[in-house]
Amino acid sequence: MAVDNRRVQQTTLSNGLVIVTETMPHVRSVSAGIWIRTGSRCETPELSGISHFIEHMVFKGTSRRTAEAIAREVDSVGGMVDAFTAKEMVCFNTRVLDEHLEAVFDVLADMVLDPLFPEDEIARERSVILEEIRMVEDNPEDLVHEMFSQNLWGHHPLGRPILGTSQTVGSFDRAAIDSVFCRRYAPDNIVITAAGNTSHQQILDLVAPRFGNRKPAAPAVAARAEAPPVPLAELASRSKRELEQVHICIGVPACSIADPRRYAVSVLNNLLGSGMSSRLFQNIREKQGLAYAIFSDTNHYRDAGMLTIYAGTSLETAERLINSVTKELRDLKENGVTAEELRRCKANLKGGTLLSLESTGSRMSDLARQFLYFGRYTSPEERIAAMEAVTADEIQQLAREMFQPSRTAAAILGNLNGFQLQAAHLAC
Residues tagged active-site: 55
Q: Which amino acid is at 24?
A: M
What is the Cα–Cα distance from 100 to 76, expressed in whole angstroms?
10
- Whether residue 346 contacts residue 390, with contact meaning beta carbons closer than 8 Å, is answered with yes
What is the Cα–Cα distance from 6 to 277, expressed in whole angstroms?
37
Q: Please give the helix or strand (H or E) that residue 140 lies within, else none.
A: helix 140-153
Q: 290: helix, coil or strand? A: coil
Cβ atoms within 10 Å of 113's Cβ, excluding its own: 15
| φ, ψ for residue 90, nearest 5 deg | -125, 135
DSSP letters of 313-381? E-HHHHHHHHHHHHHHHHHHHHH---HHHHHHHHHHHHHHHHHHTSSHHHHHHHHHHHHHHTSS---HH
Q: How far is CA 330 from CA 24, 66, 248, in A?
A: 46, 58, 19
What is the Cα–Cα distance from 302 to 373, expressed in whole angstroms?
7
- Whether residue 29 contacts residue 96, with contact meaning beta carbons closer than 8 Å, is answered with yes
3-state SS record for 95-132: EEEHHHHHHHHHHHHHHHHCECCCHHHHHHHHHHHHHH
3-state SS record for 166-180: HHHHHHCCHHHHHHH
**CA distance from start to end of the chain:** 51
